[in-house]
């Protein structure tokens, strides 16, 4: 029980959800039905032989047979209808080779599927990608697929012979008393062979399963570059931002903008480009004209050139000496320009 809990905790039962493990389970179950329905069969047929008096009649004759279907060893006693001892009649045919071969293949498939399931569940390293276990499993699977083909065809042909050898009409034809006049020979019951028909069906179903599973086992071997390669370790995708990276970047941009505005507002008016602060978000300058501010050069005391002014456009009624009109915040009367 502890080992089972460990397998469940490690997730080893995931292989049963994949086609390889699921088909192995079906092979294991179907092989049981195949050899059980054939190896456990037992049937009988009933005959009636009525002799004219004063001879002794046999109204109920039961003939029982079963696996391994050595019918030539099965016999029954029928009245001679001539006043002599009863006649011993044997059935015809020996179908033991095909039946035993079919059962042997079923038992081998049952053991092989069970061993493969145990390996995939309990020994993941031996049956992992590139290991030797899948290659051995491939050879066994291919061999059993071929054996299921031979065994199913042979057992289907042998079953037809079993049905013909145990037919009541054919068995009555072997009794010499039934050839006499006045003797009434009638079949009372035929054997039921539905279980044997089921065994043939399961045999061909196993053939389909084992043949189809060759492909999935072949993918585990890694031959031909198919499958059998461990998946790459999961991690952050290349070029993708980590969780929360976009939000952190946005916060950084906002902080940089705030620092820039703070540094800009701390500069003296003469060092600000244009002499005015940059408009903030939602701030639009009002007025029909924007004045071009004079460039700031070196001071005369420092030995530089005298600052020169660029010609600018002035509103009507204003002279060249008038200073620039301060920009007003929309809807308020407070000036935004430099002092």
pLDDT per position as a tens digit, 296-312: 444 444 444 444 545 54
> pLDDT at position 304, please?
47
Q: Are 104 and 203 in contact (CB under 8 A)?
A: no
Q: What is the DSSP string of 34-92?
A: HHHHHHT-EEEEEEEEEPPTTSPPEEEEEEEEETT--GGG-EEEE--SSSSPPEEEE--
Q: Structure pTM?
A: 0.61
Domain count, the chain: 1
Classified as helix, coil or strand, 125 is coil
Is 196 part of any domain?
yes
Distant-in-sequence, close-in-space partners of 166: CB < 8 Å, separation ≥ 6:
43, 45, 63, 65, 71, 91, 190, 191
Is 75 part of any domain?
yes
Cis peptide before 68, with omega less than 30 degrees from 0? yes
Is 302 part of any domain?
no
Q: Are 78 and 61 in contact (CB under 8 A)?
A: yes
**Which parts of the chain have pLDDT scores under 50?**
1, 4, 7-9, 11, 228-229, 231, 238-239, 283, 287-293, 295-307, 309, 312, 314, 327-339
| Phi (first) and psi of residue 279, to 5 degrees | -65, 140
Is 306 part of any domain?
no
What is the four-CA torsion angle of 298, 301, 302, 306, rounded to 10 degrees? 30
pLDDT per position as a tens digit, 133-175: 888 989 999 999 999 999 999 999 999 999 999 999 999 999 8
Is 130 part of any domain?
yes
96-122 vs 194-221: helix crossing angle, rounded to 10? 40
Q: Are 321 and 275 in contact (CB under 8 A)?
A: no
Q: Are 105 and 148 in contact (CB under 8 A)?
A: yes
Q: Are 41 and 196 in contact (CB under 8 A)?
A: yes
Is 334 part of any domain?
no
Is 214 part of any domain?
yes
> pLDDT at position 25, please?
92
d(CA 44, CA 36): 19
> pLDDT at position 298, please?
44
Is 325 part of any domain?
no
Domain coverage including residue 98: 15-223
């Amino acid at each position: 029980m502890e080992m089972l809990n460990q397998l469940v905790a490690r997730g080893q039962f995931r292989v049963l959800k994949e086609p390889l493990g699921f088909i192995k389970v079906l092979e294991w179950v179907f092989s049981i039905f195949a050899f059980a329905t054939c190896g456990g069969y037992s049937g009988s047929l009933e005959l009636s032989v009525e002799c004219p008096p004063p001879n002794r009649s046999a109204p109920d004759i039961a003939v029982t047979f079963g696996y391994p279907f050595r019918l030539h060893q099965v016999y029954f006693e029928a009245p001679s209808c001539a006043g002599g001892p009863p006649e011993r009649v044997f059935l015809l045919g020996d179908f033991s080779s095909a039946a035993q071969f079919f059962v042997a293949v079923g038992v081998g498939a049952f053991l092989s599927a069970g061993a493969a399931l145990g390996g995939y569940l309990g020994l993941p390293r031996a049956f992992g990608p590139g290991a030797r276990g899948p290659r051995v499993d491939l050879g066994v699977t291919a061999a059993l697929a071929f054996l299921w083909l031979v065994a199913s065809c042979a057992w289907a042909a042998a079953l037809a012979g079993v049905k013909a050898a145990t037919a009541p009409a054919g068995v009555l034809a072997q009794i010499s008393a039934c050839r006499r006049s006045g003797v009434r020979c009638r079949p009372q019951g035929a054997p039921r062979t539905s279980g044997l028909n089921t065994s043939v069906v399961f045999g061909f179903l196993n053939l389909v399963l084992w043949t189809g599973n060759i492909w999935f086992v072949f993918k585990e071997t890694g031959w031909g570059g198919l499958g059998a390669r461990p998946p790459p370790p999961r991690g952050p995708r290349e070029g993708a931002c980590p969780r929360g990276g976009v939000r952190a970047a946005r916060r950084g941009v906002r902080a940089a903008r705030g620092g820039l505005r703070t540094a800009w507002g701390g500069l003296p008016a003469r060092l600000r480009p244009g002499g005015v602060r940059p408009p903030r978000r939602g701030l639009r300058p009002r007025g029909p004209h924007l004045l071009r501010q004079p460039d700031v050069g070196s001071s005369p005391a420092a030995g530089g050139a005298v600052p020169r002014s660029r010609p600018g456009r002035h509103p009507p009624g204003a002279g060249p000496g008038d200073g620039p009109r301060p920009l007003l915040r929309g809807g308020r009367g407070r000036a935004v320009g430099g002092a």
